[in-house]
Amino acid sequence: MSENKETKLGVLGGVGPLATIYFAELVIRLTDAAVDQEHVSMIILNHAAIHDRTNYILDPNEPNPLPQMAEDAKTLQKAGSDYIVIPCNTAHYFYDEIQSVVDVKIINIIEETVLHIKNTVPDAKKVGILATKGTLSSGSYQKTLQKHGLDFAVPDEADTDALMEIIYGQVKAGKTVDIESFWRIINNLKRCGCDCVVLGCTELSVIYRDYSIADETIVDSLVTLAKKSIELCGKKIKQNIRSV
């Protein structure tokens, strides 16, 4: 009798490197597995040299990361990936173009996160979006939320600048996070009537882990992506565990 085909998850990573490694750890920690063979097999391409996504979205004269990500997607397909994930919300600005160059499905972190909110957050009507300036200016979360009948709010200019400092000047730079500023931004969105807040940047997911945040009104996009990846790869999701 032939064995079942092994399903492989391709990880188009390096955007950024820390979030990529944390994503892989999440997949492992959130999989209900008693032995190695019950885990998801992953092909991880942690390509840290990919051009900055936000810089290009805000200024098209900056280097375009799309050709690099498209080639990486092709590499992952050639290596045998059955699904591909990109553990970066901002990179999903290029989702359609990257998906067009490969035959395997790219799991969309933004779509899956919004569906998760719609299906699991009771009475959610208005969602606060924490994300990079690139993601916010692209409107990717705003459009997806509206498509699913949800309202949204984004941080004001001062809070967006503070959030960019947290993402780029602190998490990506490996420095201590200004956690008081992080919570102030979230609370400002809640004061605007948001029922929940989405961490729409995977560097913010690292904060979620490092500070052991246990707030059901905060939805971590990276945890959502990890759980969907486990499910699509035919493995079991561990119950009663939020993250690592």
Residues in contact with 133: Cβ distance below 8 Å, sequence separation at least 6, in sequence order = 54, 57, 58, 160, 164
Burial of 104 (0-12, 13-18, 19+ CB in 10 A): middle
Residue 67's contacts (CB-CB under 8 Å, 6 or more residues apart) are none
DSSP H helices, 11-166, are 17-30, 53-58, 66-78, 95-99, 109-120, 133-138, 140-147, 157-164
Contact yes or no for 242/223 (Cβ under 8 A): yes
Can you state the percent helix, strand and coil of the chain, rounding each to 5? 50, 15, 35
What is the SS3 assignment for 45?
strand
Active site residue 201: yes
Whether residue 233 lies in the annotated active site: no
Active-site annotation holder among 194, 196, 201, 233: 201
Q: Active-site residue numbers?
A: 88, 201
